């Protein structure tokens, strides 16, 4: 997936029908992974969210799926960081409804 501008794509704005804002999630990821470029962080978070929605993954299983993926190239530390951000978003916006 190509990175999208802030004004396009899905947005998370509240449960239970909120949509995912990849730019916002990428910024959250970059806060935990200094030095990660924005475009890469957007791609990782878009794919992480795809796994949250399509396979209902959270936490360690999500990190494992990200690490094993050929869709995005991530090391185990980045996979864990991305999974933590995606899991937190999912728990707050999807699971709390």
Q: Is 60 left (phi over 0), alpha (psi -120 to 50) or beta?
A: alpha
pLDDT at 58: 97
Per-residue pLDDT band for 4 (boundaries 50, 70, 90) equals very low
Q: Report whether pLDDT(97) > 50.
A: yes
Query: What is the band of 1 on the pLDDT scale with cuts at 50, 70, 90?
Result: very low
Q: Are 9 and 43 in contact (CB under 8 A)?
A: no
Per-residue pLDDT reduced to its tens digit, 18-56: 567 888 899 999 999 989 999 999 999 999 999 999 999
pTM over 0.75: yes
How do the domains of the chain map onto residue ranges?
A: 22-93
Q: Which residue has the tokens 């299983």?
A: 61
């Amino acid at each position: 997936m190509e990175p999208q501008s802030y004004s396009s794509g899905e947005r998370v704005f509240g449960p239970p029908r909120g949509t995912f804002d990849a730019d916002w999630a990428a910024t959250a990821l970059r806060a935990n992974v200094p030095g990660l470029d924005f475009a890469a962080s957007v791609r990782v978070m878009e794919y992480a969210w795809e796994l949250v929605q399509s396979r209902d993954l959270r936490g360690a299983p999500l990190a494992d799926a990200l690490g094993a993926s050929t869709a995005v190239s991530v090391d185990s530390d980045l996979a864990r960081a991305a999974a933590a951000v995606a899991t937190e978003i999912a728990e707050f916006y999807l699971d709390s409804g």
